[in-house]
Amino acid sequence: LDRPAPTAAAPLTVRRGAARVLIDNWTGTSTVPSRTLYPHQWSWDSAFIAIGLRHLSVRRAQQELESLLSAQWADGRIPHIVFNSAVPDDAYFPSPDFWRSSTAGRAAGAPAGPETSGIVQPPVHALAAWLVHRADPEESRRRGFLTRVVPRLAAWHDYLLDRRDLGGAGLAAAVHPWEPGMDNSPCWDRALRRVVPAAPEAFQRADLDHGHPADRPTDLDYGRYVRLVTDYRDTGYDDRALRHAFAVEDPCFNALLIVSERALAAMAEETGADSTAHTARADALTQHLVTRLWDERAGLFRVRDLATDTLVEEQGVTGLIPLIVPYLPRHIVSRLVETLTGPHFHAPATRLVPSYALTGHAFDAQRYWRGPAWFNTAWLIHLGLRTHGREQEAERLRRGFLEEAAHSDFAEYIDPITGAARGARHFSWTAALTLDLLC
């Protein structure tokens, strides 16, 4: 690709640009992922955003996480969206009147306010809290940050490992394609085919007011997303009452749970509490992850479809993210790096990682999680490479990340082959993680 080489002044300009995005997307208590497409607070977005915000303002990073945690349900779940009541209902679908958390979710302990969704997203939060604490431990202690957030984070993990161990084998299950945060990944196609879509007239999408149809999930996808939420809502979001039509064990989701359990152990030690239960949990989860999801032949982790109790034959970026897990068997680390740098995931021009194998039958360079490269997954893989001492590969990815983030005006995602920007621009986690990789 014929692109101008970055100049020496670039890091400062990029830093300013990224900071501007976060300042513009700040609402006063938290940060919206995008002013246009996502005008509320999202769960895993806030965790990634806090990781970047700590370089601008530790106080703001703490507030980002604490505003999310204040919408936690009594059963421990952290909802994937916390709605801003000042935003009109038709700005985003599904809106509060669809989720009805404060009424339908009452038995499960949804707050009386604010309104939230009833599903969850990957547990990056304890990792984020630990990184925010480490950015300024003295300020954190002075404000009692860990004392407030640790019990909430522990309850969140308890929810996932108790109510969501639907496979009964010690891993947490996702019950909606929005939960692993990779909405229309081909990894869910097989399980989703069993879901009868809601009638098109039962809902009205708002995403196409701001996003291009070729970049977004299809109407058929949305019909199924709506059906799954409606069924969950109608049981009062009760994981024990409903036999979920969609239930998968996702590698990225569980890898983040492991890293976050280790972060909880570190935070417990920091506050003088006992850390052994968290360490033991992380060890057990690591073992289950390998036993349940590792595919030696393919050299990556697979999604397990709990309806058939089989691994899904698709190669998604989710299968590479367990690289973030410390103490992973060495040969698994080597195989993961081989897969990352091999024909399925190696995108030489952008150096980022496609969300789905370049060689896969469903690869689409434009459509959301069916091929485009995302910045949060690149950040996680960078963390994984650093965790396992793969400095050269990590540095290559870091440079690719920073160049593409700047070129794309902090896009939501990019075409992994050409680098063309896709989805929203001035996207918060792209800007936040840029700040983190610049530091």
Q: How many residues bind ligand 9WN (CB under 6 A)?
A: 10
The yes or no reply on residue 114 touching ligand 9WN (CB under 6 A) is no
Element (H or E) spanning 230, and its range?
A: helix 219-234
Convert 81-134 into a string of H (helix), E (strand) and C (coil): EECCCCCCHHHCCCCHHHHCHHHHCCCCCCCCCCCECCCCCCCCHHHHHHHHHH
Residue with tokens 């996808």: 221
Task: Spell out, one character per residue from 196 to 235, where the chain touches ligand 9WN: x when CB under 6 A holds, - when not.
Answer: -----------x----------------------------
The yes or no reply on residue 188 touching ligand 9WN (CB under 6 A) is no
Distances in Å between the alpha carbon of 291 and those of 35, 232, 294? Answer: 42, 29, 6
- Residue 275 CB, shortest distance to ligand 9WN, in Å, is 30
Interior CA angle at 217 toward 211 and 221, to 5°?
140
Nearer to ligand 9WN, 124 or 417 (CB): 124
Nearer to ligand 9WN, 126 or 332 (CB): 126
Between the two ends of the chain, the Cα-to-Cα distance in Å is 27
Count CB-CB contacts under 10 A for residue 242.
16
The yes or no reply on residue 26 touching ligand 9WN (CB under 6 A) is no
Element (H or E) spanning 295, and its range?
A: strand 294-295
Identity at 404, one-letter amino acid code: E
Q: Tell which one of 18, 19, 44, 384 touches ligand 9WN (CB under 6 A).
A: 44
Note if 209 is an active site residue. no
Q: Tell which one of 66, 183, 250, 436 touches ligand 9WN (CB under 6 A).
A: 183
Phi, psi (rounded to 5 degrees) for 301: -85, 150
HSE-CB for 71 with a 13 A CA cutoff: 30
CA–CA gap between residue 101 and residue 118 (Å, rounded) = 6
- Residue 38 CB, shortest distance to ligand 9WN, in Å, is 4
Q: Tell which one of 26, 42, 301, 345 touches ligand 9WN (CB under 6 A).
A: 42
CA–CA gap between residue 371 and residue 365 (Å, rounded) = 5
The yes or no reply on residue 178 touching ligand 9WN (CB under 6 A) is yes
Note if 183 is an active site residue. yes
Tokens at 394, concatenated: 């990590």
Nearer to ligand 9WN, 75 or 183 (CB): 183
Using the rule CB under 6 A, give the single segment among 40-48, 66-74, 235-243, 280-288 that binds ligand 9WN.
Answer: 40-48
The yes or no reply on residue 45 touching ligand 9WN (CB under 6 A) is yes
Tokens at 139, concatenated: 């300020």
Using the rule CB under 6 A, give the single segment among 60-68, 96-104, 175-183, 295-303 that binds ligand 9WN.
Answer: 175-183
Tokens at 40, concatenated: 């509320």
Torsion of CA 85, 87, 91, 97, to 10 degrees: 20
CA–CA gap between residue 280 and residue 214 (Å, rounded) = 45
Q: Tell which one of 181, 299, 319, 419 touches ligand 9WN (CB under 6 A).
A: 181
The yes or no reply on residue 38 touching ligand 9WN (CB under 6 A) is yes
The yes or no reply on residue 39 touching ligand 9WN (CB under 6 A) is no
- Residue 260 CB, shortest distance to ligand 9WN, in Å, is 17
* Cβ pair 62, 128 in contact under 8 A: no
Task: Spell out, one character per residue from 65 to 104, where the chain touches ligand 9WN: x when CB under 6 A holds, - when not.
Answer: ---------------x------------------------
Tell me the pairing of strands 248-249 and 304-305. antiparallel
- Residue 398 CB, shortest distance to ligand 9WN, in Å, is 22
Nearer to ligand 9WN, 122 or 167 (CB): 122
Residue with tokens 């397990």: 304
Nearer to ligand 9WN, 52 or 299 (CB): 52
**From 66, 305, 314, 412, the catalytic residue:** 412
**From 64, 183, 207, 231, the catalytic residue:** 183
- Residue 200 CB, shortest distance to ligand 9WN, in Å, is 17
Helix (H, G, I), strand (E, B) or coil at 358: coil
- Residue 45 CB, shortest distance to ligand 9WN, in Å, is 5
- Residue 228 CB, shortest distance to ligand 9WN, in Å, is 12
CA–CA gap between residue 246 and residue 104 (Å, rounded) = 20
Binding region for ligand 9WN (CB under 6 A):
33, 38, 42, 44-45, 80, 178, 181, 183, 207
Where in the sequence numbering do the catalytic residues fall? Answer: 183, 412
